[in-house]
């Protein structure tokens, strides 16, 4: 069965009530390709605002979730609270969480397992730094991140079915630099091969692997043509009208 194209918009720590209402209005009024699953991730403060005003066919994601059910964890947000607010996805393992806030592969894997067990879908991010890319370690780094995830999920196909993998080379996030189509496809193919060899054929064929890293309305069409690129996790461009063009890039 063909994998449904997936486009996520990560607004990061951007936006005001007014600007986010305008983004929602634009998405509500736009013609969006019905064959694309669309999810947007506003800052936590605006999750309920977005969910209240956004049309039901577009899902809403948090940018983080904690791996404890509740308690004295100031500043965190729980899986149960997200579910209670009709938030159906969360982004975990983004390079900014890993590099700026010290989240290790093990922490990301633990959060992912907890979110999946709690009924959320997870956009799970992986990727390498510029130094790792230049040292030829890209595939080793990504495999290590995947190994940590497997240590928590095992070969549970039900759990893996709720994971969307986002490959985001750290050196291409917000820099304007984009991996070439060939570079992106190479890593996507390697991720699918890893899934096939370490989890199973069905998971490898069904898991959607997104590219993220300065995706925009100009480069999305060429990237989307590659057989192992199943969509995008979009950063800066998700704040702009061109986000609609990215969603519709296969039309």
132 catalytic residue (yes or no): no
Cα-flanking dihedrals φ and ψ of residue 233, to 5°? Answer: -110, 115
8 strand-pairing partners = 39, 233
Cα-flanking dihedrals φ and ψ of residue 30, to 5°? Answer: -80, 150
What angle in degrees, to the nearest 10, is found between the helix axes of 181-198 and 138-153?
Answer: 40
Residue 233 contacts residue 10 (beta carbons within 8 Å)? yes
The dihedral through the CA atoms of 232, 156, 58, 110 has a sign that is: negative
Catalytic residue, candidates 94, 103, 132, 188: 94
Catalytic residue, candidates 37, 96, 128, 168: 168
Residue 168 contacts residue 233 (beta carbons within 8 Å)? yes
- Within its chain, how far is the Cα of 74 from the centroid? 25
205 catalytic residue (yes or no): no
Burial class (CB in 10 A: 0-12, 13-18, 19+), 41: buried
226: Cβ contacts below 8 Å, ≥ 6 apart: 181, 184, 185, 188
Could you report how far apart the first and last alpha carbons of the chain are, in Å?
Answer: 20
Catalytic residues, by residue number, are 94, 168
């Amino acid at each position: 069965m063909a994998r449904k194209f997936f486009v996520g918009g990560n607004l990061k720590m951007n936006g005001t009530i007014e600007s986010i209402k305008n983004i929602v209005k634009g998405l509500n009024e736009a013609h969006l390709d019905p064959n694309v699953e669309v999810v947007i991730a506003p800052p936590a403060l605006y999750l309920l605002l977005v969910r209240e005003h956004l049309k039901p066919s577009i899902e809403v994601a948090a940018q983080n979730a904690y791996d404890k059910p509740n308690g004295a964890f100031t500043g965190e947000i729980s899986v149960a609270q997200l579910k209670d607010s009709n938030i159906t996805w969360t982004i975990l393992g983004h390079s900014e969480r890993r590099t700026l806030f010290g989240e290790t592969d093990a922490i990301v894997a633990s959060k992912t397992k907890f979110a999946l067990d709690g009924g959320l879908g997870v956009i799970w991010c992986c990727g390498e730094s510029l130094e790792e890319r230049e040292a030829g370690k890209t595939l080793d780094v990504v495999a290590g991140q995947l190994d940590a995830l497997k240590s928590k999920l095992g070969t549970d196909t039900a759990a893996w079915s709720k994971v969307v993998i986002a490959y985001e080379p750290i050196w291409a996030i917000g820099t304007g630099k984009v991996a070439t189509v060939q570079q992106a496809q190479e890593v996507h193919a390697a991720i699918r091969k890893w899934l096939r060899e370490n989890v199973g054929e069905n998971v490898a064929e069904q898991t959607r692997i997104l590219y993220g890293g300065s995706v925009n309305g100009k480069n999305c069409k060429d990237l989307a043509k590659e057989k192992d690129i199943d969509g995008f996790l979009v950063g800066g461009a998700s704040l702009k009208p061109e986000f609609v063009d990215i969603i519709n890039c296969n039309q």
